[in-house]
Amino acid sequence: MLTLTQLNEELTFPECHTAIVEPNGLLAFGGDLSCARLKLAYANGIFPWFSQGEPILWWSPDPRGIIRIDHYKASKSLRKFSRNCGLKISVNLAFNQVIDACASIPRNDSGTWITDEMIQAYKNLHLEGHAHSIEIWDEDQLVGGLYGVVSGKVFCGESMFHKVANSSKLAFWHLIEIVKSSGATFIDCQMQNPHLASLGCIEVSREYFLEQLAIQQQSTFANHLWQPRYLQALK
């Protein structure tokens, strides 16, 4: 009989290899979305994902989706777009707006997994300096962006949105350049999908992912990388 670990107030998680196969990677349920628990989760390759009305569900899928930073190459069309679009790019100037926009974008399923509880939890992580956003602006209008969590020298992507074609891809290209400058080797995409595959996301085994994650936990991003600011547009 299949049993699933229920978390309590203690800040612990079961070993990732105990996650079930179907649904892929479901590891535990319950607990809370405190900053302390979220930081522990991401440091161990675990993330929350659940819908409104469900208990908090924790996942560690196998295989895992990652983007190798040294394999990423901006397409010619994206470079042309960046030269000609006239959009502005920033870091951490509008985290709350980005996550709210990501939550409001209609998805292919019945709703969004970015519940009110999740929104507040990641806003709290941002205030503590562990969650960051890249924003794309048309004048003073936010038209695209992404956000995620940093753990060691890994950026764990959570969600992106666009209101102007290619704006989320532009945000991702700037994210790549930021983390690349620090010596990071990959971005965690959690699970591959067609859009992420178009950006270069590949699947690796959970075992390999956790090994590489542990290596990247030995150092951290420099604080200045995430200082709120406008960025020079990439060409």
| pLDDT digits 0-9 by tens, 48-103 | 999 888 999 999 999 999 999 999 999 999 999 999 999 999 999 999 999 999 99
Alpha-carbon span 165 to 169, nearest angstrom: 9
Closest CA to 91 of 219, 186, 157, 178: 178
Total length of the chain = 235
Give the distance between the most distant pair of CA atoms in the chain: 59
Distance, CA of 145 to chain centre: 12
CB atoms within 10 A of CB 91: 21
| pLDDT digits 0-9 by tens, 32-56 | 999 999 999 999 999 999 988 899 9
| pLDDT digits 0-9 by tens, 205-223 | 999 999 999 999 999 999 9
* Residue 108: pLDDT over 90: no
3-class state of residue 229 by DSSP: strand
Q: For the chain, what is the mean pLDDT?
A: 94
Alpha-carbon span 175 to 191, nearest angstrom: 18
Alpha-carbon span 191 to 49, nearest angstrom: 12
CA 138-143-147 angle, 5° bins: 125
Which pTM does this prediction carry? Answer: 0.95
Q: HSE of 48 in the Cβ direction (CA atoms, 13 Å)?
A: 28
Please name the CATH architecture into which domain 5-62 falls: 2-Layer Sandwich (3.30)
Q: CATH number of the domain at 65-231, please?
A: 3.40.630.70
Spans of all domains in the chain: 5-62, 65-231
For residue 234, what is the DSSP state?
Answer: P
CB atoms within 10 A of CB 87: 21
Beta carbons within 8 Å of 173's beta carbon, 6+ residues apart? 74, 78, 82, 234
Q: How far apart are the first and last CA of the chain?
A: 56
